[in-house]
């Protein structure tokens, strides 16, 4: 554990010595009505805008104006294969091979596309296992898949729950579920980083366990991509999907990412929904030939992608390519550890951190349970210039994002929280 110290001087010194400090200046930091920078701690909900995003998007608008349809071939970044500009960097961010990654659709849509291929229920094996406090959209999605295939969405859904009076998930409980019901479970689909607690689960361990019982294993990595080292290829997971508007800073509602493990890349027997963008690029425009599937994750695309959204993604991924996910997570562990250190100084009578204390089991988010608090606390923080995230009934989620948050941000957040709690 690092030798953290209290006091603003320590925070300022850490910022001065931070090798990644220059990247903060590459983002627009929201300001209050007086022009003062807000302390923005909600990159786990919507990442800040890179300053170069406007230039990237304007380039495509200009090329559209100048070339019209010929922009597919004549634009500075030809639109026809624009998604390929994102593949290598996105693969590096999530720890995958380029053939395993594609940017397309949105998160829940991608999860449905993956389930169309990988959820193959039979009369005896049809259940789906998710974590009990999964993000609601995931729960709604798997319930609808059960109904779509003619199963009862309550009887067919198995929940991996924390032990009584606990908040975090334990692998021993997952093992027990699989020992008891593994031969009835067709699909395990888990949030890689839990949105509420911030718990970063061991994807490789879960995948190995699921495969031992004959289950397909996939992950929702919305709160993991750009936050932790996911190592999706090495995890062995069958599939994964994630959004790009949180830690990947691509803008509200931006396109999502999708991973399909290399071992499935050339399997033409996998059932899937298809469209002309999943067809062989060399013959795509012949129009009248039989479908010829692209190998790899690209083979799950349907339509030509929205270029303006991809331009915003490219702007952010180019920042990630410059800094590297390894350097980011190194700073993240130090910054989040400092955050934890300051919070613990507030005392257990005031707050409880429900996120795991081990840096290997979390990203940059800490979920803070505030005793005897309600949403008025969140409003007071907002009024004081702290942009955090309230989750009912009594949790504040804060994410000191290493790309643009500073040690001073963390110090001032905790100092403000302390003043409010003592007031």
* Per-residue pLDDT reduced to its tens digit, 150-170: 999 999 999 999 999 999 999
Gap between the Cα atoms of 54 and 40, Å rounded: 20
Structure tokens at 417: 């929280």
Can you give the pLDDT at residue 27? Answer: 98
3-class SS at 60? helix
pLDDT in tens, 10-66: 999 999 999 999 999 999 999 999 999 999 999 999 999 999 999 999 999 999 999
- Output the pLDDT for position 144: 98
What is the pLDDT at residue 321?
Answer: 97
Give the predicted TM-score (pTM) of the model.
Answer: 0.96
3-state secondary structure (DSSP) of residue 230: coil
Residue 181 makes CB contacts below 8 A (sequence gap 6+) with 127, 158
Q: Count other Cβ atoms within 10 Å, centred on residue 322.
A: 12
**For 280-308, how does the pLDDT look when each residue is reduced to its tens digit (9 = 90+)?**
888 888 888 899 999 999 999 999 999 99
Q: pLDDT tier at 1 (50, 70, 90 boundaries)?
A: low
What pLDDT score was predicted for residue 416? 95
DSSP calls for 69-129: GGHHHHSSS-GGGTTHHHHHHHHHHHT--GGGEEEES-HHHHHHHHHHHH----SS--EEE
Mean pLDDT score, 397-407: 97
In sequence order, the 6+-apart residues with CB closer than 8 A to the CB of 7 are none
pLDDT, tens digit (0-9, with 9 covering 90-100), for 112-136: 999 999 999 999 999 999 999 999 9
- Give the CA radius of gyration of the chain: 22
Q: Give the model's pLDDT for residue 87.
A: 98
Tell me the pLDDT tens digit for each residue of 247-271: 999 999 999 999 999 999 999 899 9
Residues 354, 369: contact at Cβ < 8 Å?
A: yes
Phi, psi of 195 (to 5 degrees): -65, -30
Cβ(313)–Cβ(44) below 8 Å: no
At residue 138, the pLDDT reads 97
pLDDT at 376: 86
Question: Is the per-residue pLDDT at 394 higher than 90?
Answer: no
pLDDT at 391: 86
The domains located in the chain, with CATH, are: 8-48+325-422 (3.90.1150.10), 58-321 (3.40.640.10)
The answer to which of 37-46, 135-144, 376-385 has the lowest mean pLDDT is: 376-385
Higher-pLDDT residue of 285 and 210 is 210
Under the banding of pLDDT at 50, 70 and 90, the label for residue 374 is confident
């Amino acid at each position: 554990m690092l030798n953290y110290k209290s006091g603003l001087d320590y925070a300022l010194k850490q910022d001065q010595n931070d090798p990644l400090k220059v990247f903060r200046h590459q983002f627009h930091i929201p300001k209050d009505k007086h022009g003062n920078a807000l302390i923005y701690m909600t990159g786990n909900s919507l990442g800040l805008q890179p300053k170069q995003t406007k230039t990237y998007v304007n380039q495509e608008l200009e090329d559209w104006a100048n070339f019209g349809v010929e922009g597919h071939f004549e634009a500075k970044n030809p639109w026809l294969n624009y998604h390929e500009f994102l593949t290598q960097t996105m693969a590096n961010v999530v720890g995958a091979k380029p053939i395993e990654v594609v940017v397309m659709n949105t998160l829940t849509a991608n999860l449905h596309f993956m389930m169309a291929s990988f959820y193959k229920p039979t009369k005896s094996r049809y259940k789906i296992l998710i974590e009990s406090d999964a993000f609601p959209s995931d729960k709604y999605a798997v319930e609808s898949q059960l109904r779509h295939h003619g199963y009862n969405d309550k009887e067919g859904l198995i929940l991996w729950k924390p032990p009584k009076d606990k908040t975090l998930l334990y692998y021993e409980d997952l093992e027990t579920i699989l020992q008891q019901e593994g031969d009835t479970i067709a699909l395990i689909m888990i949030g890689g980083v839990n949105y509420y607690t911030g718990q970063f689960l061991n994807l490789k361990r879960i995948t190995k366990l699921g495969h031992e019982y004959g289950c397909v294993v996939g992950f929702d990595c919305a709160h993991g991509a750009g936050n932790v080292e996911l190592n999706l290829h090495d995890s062995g997971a069958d599939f994964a999907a994630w959004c790009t508007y949180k830690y990947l800073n691509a803008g509200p509602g931006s396109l999502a990412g999708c991973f399909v493990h290399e071992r499935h890349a050339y399997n033409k027997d996998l059932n899937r929904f298809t469209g002309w963008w999943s067809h062989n690029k060399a013959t795509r425009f012949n129009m009248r030939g039989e479908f010829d599937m692209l190998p790899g994750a690209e083979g799950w695309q349907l339509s030509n992608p929205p270029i303006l959204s991809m331009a915003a993604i490219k702007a952010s991924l180019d920042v990630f390519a410059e800094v590297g996910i390894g350097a980011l997570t190194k700073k993240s562990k130090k910054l989040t550890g400092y955050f934890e250190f300051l919070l613990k100084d507030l005392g257990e009578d005031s707050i409880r951190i429900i996120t795991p204390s081990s840096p290997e089991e979390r990203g940059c988010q800490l979920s803070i349970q505030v005793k005897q608090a309600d949403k008025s606390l969140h409003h007071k923080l907002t009024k004081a210039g702290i942009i955090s995230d309230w989750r009912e009934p009594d949790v504040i989620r804060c994410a000191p994002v290493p790309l643009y948050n500073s040690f001073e941000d963390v110090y001032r957040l905790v100092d403000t929280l302390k003043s409010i709690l003592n007031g």
